[in-house]
Amino acid sequence: MQRVHYDDDHLAFGELASSFAAKEIAPHIDSWEDAGISPREIFASAGAIGLLGFAAPEEFGGLGTNDFRYNQILIERCMAVHAGNVGLSFAVHNDICLPYLADVGNAAQRQRWLPGFVRGELIAAIAMTEPGAGSDVAAIRTSGVDAGDHFIVNGAKTFITNGQNADLVITAVRTSPDRRNGLTLMVIERGMPGFERGRNLDKLGLHCQDTSELVFTDVAVPKANVLGDVGAGFEYLMRNLPQERMQIAVGSVGRARAALQWTIDYVRTRVAFSKPIGALQNTRFALADAATEVAVAESFIDRCVIQLNAGQLTPADAAKAKLWATEMEFRVLDSCQQLFGGYGYMREYPIARASIDARVTRVYGGTSEIMREIIGRDLALDPTRTKASM
């Protein structure tokens, strides 16, 4: 089906992304997976051809266009050639971190950080999750004590994507006991005394996407590194969560679409009982269901991307997009993997690794259960509560 929300500029950008992913990432995926991390240089290579920070203003090297369709097509093209793990590292940099630096950061901060960000010389991460605080952002305990011209930060974060490679860590820090108005966003930089990286976490999947524990021990963070207003961190995080959830939804649809195509190619050539298994009715029915699920999800996600661009995407609709896309991805990958038989269990086949990589999508960015809670509250089923109180 023709993707009507892409114009010629998006498709040209997609060709650039496809070529880069196929030539610069896909041939190295196996070795990077074994190493458990992608090299920093891949960010610089992507930045050199305009694949990073394209929403940044032109004066800092970006395209100056806050059009999420570019973000979407980059993820899709990476997924198509089994380069999605690196593509998602780019997505954390582009889709999740950039809005804080470009929209919340002041003029001096943008001048200081955005040029290197766009070139891929400064890699970004965001640190919200803690050992005792996952989906409940208000439970964050990493503390920042006002010490005049700086804050003294102590605490720990975990499950931080790009954690090993990151130069700029946008960190949610508690600066007062108020659960909602006590969080502040600070950029903690590589090399600050007391900022240490723990182990690169041994995950079930997404092996070449580095994910780390971060530890802060009496880190002196200058007030010049505070993003926006002190105490407004919760508001900024909530404002950007819909785009983060759209990024996850886009990745899930892209991975499911790629898995569907790998399976179609496989069943056309794999012979059983003297005929291609694609000729069997069960295969046709299974893939018909998968193709329909992908097409329906793709249509909804495309509509949500247009709403996001227009500033009209609600938190509830973003939650619906993430919930539906990630649960759909699980069903489609399971069905496709089954058609590979024993080969679907071999890591040398992309379908096997994709199935493992996809497991976390129903967890990070807010679990499926949290998404259902957001959607359910939006339905105003409890007459004693108003939407404004949710």
pLDDT for the residue 178:
87
Adjacent-strand bridge partners of 43: none
Kindly report the number of other CB atoms within 10 A of residue 367's CB atom: 16
Q: What is the SS3 string spanning 171-191?
A: EEEECCCCCCCCEEEEEEECC
pLDDT for the residue 362:
96
pLDDT for the residue 390:
38
pLDDT for the residue 179:
79
β-pair type (124-127, 168-174) = parallel
pLDDT for the residue 296:
97
pLDDT for the residue 180:
78
From CA 124, how far away is CA 72, in angstroms rounded? Answer: 19
From CA 240, how far away is CA 246, in angstroms rounded? Answer: 10
Cβ distance 82 to 30 under 8 Å? no
pLDDT for the residue 136:
74
Cβ distance 47 to 39 under 8 Å? no
pLDDT for the residue 389:
38
From CA 119, how far away is CA 45, in angstroms rounded? Answer: 8
In this prediction the pTM is 0.92
Q: Which tokens sit at 158?
A: 């975990």
DSSP secondary structure string for all residues of 105-123:
S-HHHHHHHHHHHHHTSS-
pLDDT for the residue 1:
52
Angle at which helices 281-309 and 68-80 pack, to 10 degrees?
150
From CA 234, how far away is CA 119, in angstroms rounded? Answer: 29
Backbone φ and ψ for 146, nearest 5 degrees, come out as -65, 125
Q: Which tokens sit at 182?
A: 């006590």
Contacts of 260 (CB under 8 A, 6+ apart): 287, 290, 291, 294, 332, 336
Contacts of 193 (CB under 8 A, 6+ apart): 219, 220
Contacts of 279 (CB under 8 A, 6+ apart): none
Contacts of 182 (CB under 8 A, 6+ apart): 174, 175, 176, 231, 234
Mean pLDDT by 10 residues, the chain (390 residues): 81 95 96 94 96 94 91 96 93 95 96 97 96 78 96 97 97 91 96 96 92 97 98 93 95 97 96 88 97 97 96 96 98 98 94 96 94 94 60
Radius of gyration of the chain (CA): 21
112-127 burial, b at 16+ Cβ within 10 Å, e below that, comes to: bbbbbbbbbebbbbbb
pLDDT for the residue 387:
53
Task: Give all domains of the chain, ordered by start, each with its CATH number.
Answer: 8-122 (1.10.540.10), 125-231 (2.40.110.10), 235-389 (1.20.140.10)
Which residue numbers are catalytic? 244
From CA 311, how far away is CA 186, in angstroms rounded? Answer: 25
**Residue of 313, 320, 311 whose CA lies nearest to 379:** 320
- The dihedral sign for the CA sequence 100, 361, 129, 180: positive
